[in-house]
Amino acid sequence: MLVGALAAFTLVALMGLAMIGDVWAGRAVGPAYPMLHGAASLVGSALVIVAALEGDTRVYLNIGMAVVIIALGLLMGLTAKKGKRVPRAILVVHAGLAVICYLALGFFAFNPSATLI
C-alpha cells in the first residue's frame, strides 16, 4: 500500500516541480494541471489512509502533514483563481512539508519494521 502511495506522490512531486518551473520561466500554468496535481495527491493520501486503517500507525504523522499540505495547496489555488499572486511563504511551506512527508513515506515504505522512535 505504501509503495503505491509513494508512486502516486512521486508523480505529484514531478507535477509540482513542473509547475514551479513554468512559473519561474514566466509561463502560465494551465488550469487543468493543478487539478491533476491535487487529484493525484488525493489518490496517494487515500492509499496512506488505507494503510493507517489497516493498522500502520507509523503513517499518522504523514496524514497530519498531508492535511496541512492539502490546505495550503487549496489556498494557493484559490488565490491564483482570484488573479492574485501566491505568497512565496505559502509556496515554500507547502513544498517543504511535501518533501518531508515524501521522505518519511519513502522511509516507511522501504523499511517495513522501522519506527520513528
Cell triple for residue 17? 516541480
- What's the pTM value of the predicted model, to 2 decimals? 0.91
Please report whether residue 102 resides in a domain. yes
Please report whether residue 38 resides in a domain. yes
Contacts of 10 (CB under 8 A, 6+ apart): 102
Please report whether residue 117 resides in a domain. no
Please report whether residue 99 resides in a domain. yes
Which residue range is the domain that position 52 belongs to?
Answer: 2-110
Please report whether residue 115 resides in a domain. no
Please report whether residue 68 resides in a domain. yes
**Could you give the number of structural domains in the chain?**
1
Please report whether residue 43 resides in a domain. yes
pLDDT (tens, 9 = 90+) of the chain, 117 residues, equals 999 999 999 999 999 999 999 988 989 888 899 999 999 999 999 999 999 999 999 999 999 999 999 999 999 999 989 999 889 999 999 999 999 999 999 999 999 999 877
Please report whether residue 116 resides in a domain. no
- What's the rounded Cα separation, in Å, for the pair 103 and 97? 10
